[in-house]
């Protein structure tokens, strides 16, 4: 069974701190994604990566960066955390398969609170 | 712009009631369609998917969905819900713009289902 592991379930940080959210998948998936989930706004894509050292901006990349140095690991970085980045962050992965893409496998999420 | 619309934001049902959650999308070409479920405190997981073939697809836990191309719809159904079906349900549509990397997976805003015992 595919496992996507996010390093922290809950995180509390102060405004201005640099924050690292880590995600590891164990199924050799090419694609990895970072979403944020907010009530009433659904899931919004922050960044995704389809290969090591490759990344593409999603719909809301401002204030975030990512790093993918190894295939299994995808890190989300909040350069200077702000209170509007308080949210649930979801990591997901999938195979690169076909034209339309296979289902995503999600981690349990990291609930980040910025005070 | 492409979009996915889930008509009901909050649904409350009693156990044994039938469920239908609406999902409509705006893209006119070939699509992959998904329903994901998020049980309280758990990760999002795939409930069912449609790629091609029989438009009536069966998923886990007795759920099914019907793809009606002419209506751009992919409604989720279950004949008799249980308390354990209490969860948030998300419809998602993938289009070929991204050539296989899920870049353009478009999500609905979700429907929160509460089933009373």
Ordered DSSP codes for B14-37 = ETT--EEE--EE---S--EEEEEE
User: Quick one: closest CA in B to A50, which residue?
Assistant: B101
| Cβ contacts of A50 on chain B, cutoff 8 Å | 101
Q: Which domains does chain B have, with CATH numbers?
A: 1-82 (2.60.40.10)
Higher pLDDT, B100 or A52: A52
Task: Quote the number of domains for chain A.
Answer: 1
Q: Which residues contact residue A45 at a Cβ distance below 8 angstroms, ignoring those fewer than 6 apart?
A: A33, A34, A35, A58, A59, A60, B103, B105
Q: Write out pLDDT tens, residues A61-93.
A: 999 999 999 999 999 999 999 999 999 999 999
CB contact under 8 A, B31 and A104: no
B98, B101, B107 ranked by CB distance to A42: nearest:
B107
The CATH code of the domain that includes A77 is 2.60.40.10
CB contact under 8 A, B49 and A104: no
Q: Are B76 and B23 a contacting pair, CB within 8 Å?
A: yes
pLDDT at A114: 98
Higher pLDDT, B107 or B95: B107
- pLDDT band of residue B56 (cuts 50, 70, 90) is very high
- Distance from CA of residue A43 to its chain's centroid? 11
- Distance from CA of residue A100 to its chain's centroid? 21
| Cβ contacts of A98 on chain B, cutoff 8 Å | 100
Q: Write out pLDDT tens, residues A2-17.
A: 699 999 999 999 999 9
Measure B87 CA to nearest chain A CA, in Å: 14
Q: Which domain holds residue A106?
A: 4-114
| Cβ contacts of A103 on chain B, cutoff 8 Å | 34, 46, 49
Q: Write out pLDDT tens, residues A89-107.
A: 999 998 876 545 677 899 9
Query: What average pLDDT score do residues A25-38 get?
Result: 92
């Amino acid at each position: 069974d595919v496992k996507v592991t996010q390093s922290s379930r809950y995180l509390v940080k102060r405004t201005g701190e640099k924050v690292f959210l880590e995600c590891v998948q164990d199924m050799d998936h090419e694609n990895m994604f970072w979403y944020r989930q907010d009530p009433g706004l659904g899931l919004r894509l922050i960044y995704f990566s389809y290969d090591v050292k490759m990344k593409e901006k999603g719909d809301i990349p401002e204030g975030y960066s990512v790093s993918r140095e190894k295939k299994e690991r995808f890190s989300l970085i909040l350069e200077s955390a702000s209170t509007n980045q308080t949210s649930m962050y979801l990591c997901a992965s999938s195979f690169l398969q076909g034209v339309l893409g296979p289902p995503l496998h999600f981690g349990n999420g990291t609930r980040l609170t910025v005070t | 712009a492409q979009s996915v619309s889930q008509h009901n934001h909050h649904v409350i049902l009693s156990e044994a009631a039938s469920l239908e959650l609406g999902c409509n999308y705006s893209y006119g070409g070939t699509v992959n369609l998904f329903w994901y479920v998020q049980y309280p405190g758990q990760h999002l997981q795939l409930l069912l998917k449609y790629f091609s073939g029989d438009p009536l697809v069966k998923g886990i836990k007795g759920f099914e969905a019907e793809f009606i191309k002419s209506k751009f719809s992919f409604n989720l159904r279950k004949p008799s819900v249980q308390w354990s079906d209490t969860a948030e349900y998300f419809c998602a549509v993938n289009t070929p713009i991204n050539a296989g990397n899920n870049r353009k997976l478009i999500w609905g805003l979700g429907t929160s289902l509460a089933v009373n015992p």
